[in-house]
Amino acid sequence: MAEQARARGIADRVEHLGLQELAFEAAFDGAMTIDAMEHVPPDDWPAVVANVRRALKPGGHWYVTLEEVEEPAVEKAFRSLKAQGVPAVRGEVVEGDTGGYHFYPGRDRALGWLGDAGFEVVAEDTDWRDDWGYRHLLLRAGA
C-alpha cells in the first residue's frame, strides 16, 4: 500500500512504521488510528499514546477507535489464558474470532492513559454490534 501511495504521488511523504516507532514532533494537525489500538499490548499503550501526542501540534486532533467486547468475554479469555499458564493481563484476548492478539483496556483505563498524555475528549460515541463494538473518540492535544 505504501508503494502504491508513493507511485500515485498522493502525499509528500509516505512511511510504513509501527505506532511504537512513531517519532515525529509537532508535525501534524491531526491523526487517525482506526482498528489499530486493540493490537497494542498494555505495556506499550502509554508509549504509543505519548508518541501520537508528540506527533501532533498543540491543539491537534486525534480520531481513534477503541474496539471493545462485553465484560463476560474479557473475563472468560483472562481465565482461559491463566489456566493455560499464559502470563496474561486482564483485557488480553488471543483466541476465538479476534483474528489474533487483541487488548481491550476498557473505557476508564484507556481514558486514563489518554489523559495522562495530555489529551482531552472532544466527542465520544459508541457503535455496538451484538457483543462487541467500537468506541469512537475525538481527542484534542493540550498545549
DSSP result, 105-129: --HHHHHHHHHHTTEEEEEEEEEEE
Q: How much of the chain, in percent, has pLDDT values that exceed 90?
A: 66
Residue 71 in grid coordinates? 465484560
Distance CA 18, CA 126 (A): 26
**How does pLDDT run across 13-33, given as a tens digit for each residue?**
888 889 999 999 999 999 999
Question: What pLDDT shows up at residue 96?
Answer: 66
- Residue 95: is its pLDDT beyond 80? no
pTM for the model: 0.88
Specify the amino acid at residue 119: F
